[in-house]
Amino acid sequence: MDHTPASVIVPAARTYRGGETMPERWTTWVPRAGDVLVCTPSKSGTTWTQTIIAMLLHGGPDLPDRVPVLSPWVDSTLGDADAVARALASQRGRRVVKTHTPADGFPVWDGVQVVAVYRHPLDVFFSYVKHMQNMTAPPPDHPMLQSASDALSRFVSAEVVDVDQYTDECLAGIAWHYRETVLSGRNLGTASFHYAEMVQNPTQTVRDVARAIGVVPSVSLVEQIVAATRIEAMRRKADRYAPEGGKGFFKNDAAFFASGAVGNWRDEIGAAGAARFAQRMAELIPDAVARSWLEHGGRPPGSTPAPSEHPAKIA
């Protein structure tokens, strides 16, 4: 495969920093035509999507290394930057990496496919609460560790006021990510997926992801990947799939893959909480169609999954 760096079509418009996001770390990845960038808010199906793509690119579930090594979070403070760069440079074929940065925070590269995944923000919230509770050493003042009512109130009402302190750990941050990645039309080749639909039909999900990245999988390969990426299967091999798996970052690596459920929040927030959430969503995303897709899926506004420009690979 040609290792020539992909040319930049449109430069980044903003520089995002905050939490575990460090923009200087983008240099650990030198994009090549054919690479795939998974771009999601946190707790939205990122690791699941990365794993599906890695298995499609490698032709099966038997990956040559742990997913966080094959597919690192390229603009994160996690891990040694030189080690991340070496691991990526050593991969001979197409690569998949991830970011939680909105799409205006990185260039549009020629031949690099962006795959965006979103999830109902309230499902994200409850997943994040479990995530923080499972961390071995979470920040003691993290708002997700407050009482459930206080944490939810903060999640719904918090603002994102500065790209130097950007966070997707609140509704405003998720909406920001969605506006700049999907609604802006910045990268017209972006393939957008919704977590609820992925859960509902995992077989179609693998087929659609394959189509978006230009891979034509066999029926057998689709079946293998669906089986290998079911939540129970990923729990059993959590040290292979979870970010920082096997390093003591989490109390229980398998718990990184929580229930994977959709809509459990309906019994948790009450009528008043649901009304406040709906009001805030309308403030952040005024267009009703765009708002509905972020919550429930359907056809992404202004974006449809499409094959990439590079030749398809039959696997």
φ and ψ at residue 257, rounded to 5 degrees: -95, 90
Apex 143 CA angle, 195 and 276, nearest 5:
65
Any domain includes 170: yes
Apex 170 CA angle, 199 and 50, nearest 5:
40
Measured between alpha carbons, how far is 275 from 271 in angstroms, rounded to an integer? 6
Element spanning 240, H or E: helix 238-241
Contacts of 181 (CB under 8 A, 6+ apart): 39, 102, 103, 104, 114, 116, 187, 190
Any domain includes 7: no
pLDDT for the residue numbered 172: 96
pLDDT for the residue numbered 182: 96
Any domain includes 264: yes
Measured between alpha carbons, how far is 144 from 264 in angstroms, rounded to an integer? 17
CB 209 within 8 A of CB 134: no
pLDDT averaged over 10-residue windows placed end to end, the chain, 315 residues: 87 93 96 97 94 97 94 93 95 96 97 97 87 72 78 91 88 97 94 95 97 97 97 87 70 65 70 90 96 88 45 38
Give the amino acid at 213. I
Any domain includes 311: no
pLDDT for the residue numbered 3: 79
Looking at residue 19, which CATH number applies to its domain?
A: 3.40.50.300
Provide the residue range defining the domain that includes 176.
Answer: 13-306
For strand 113-118 and strand 191-194, is the pairing parallel, antiparallel, or unpaired?
A: parallel
* Number of domains comprising the chain: 1
Any domain includes 8: no
pLDDT for the residue numbered 75: 96
Any domain includes 313: no
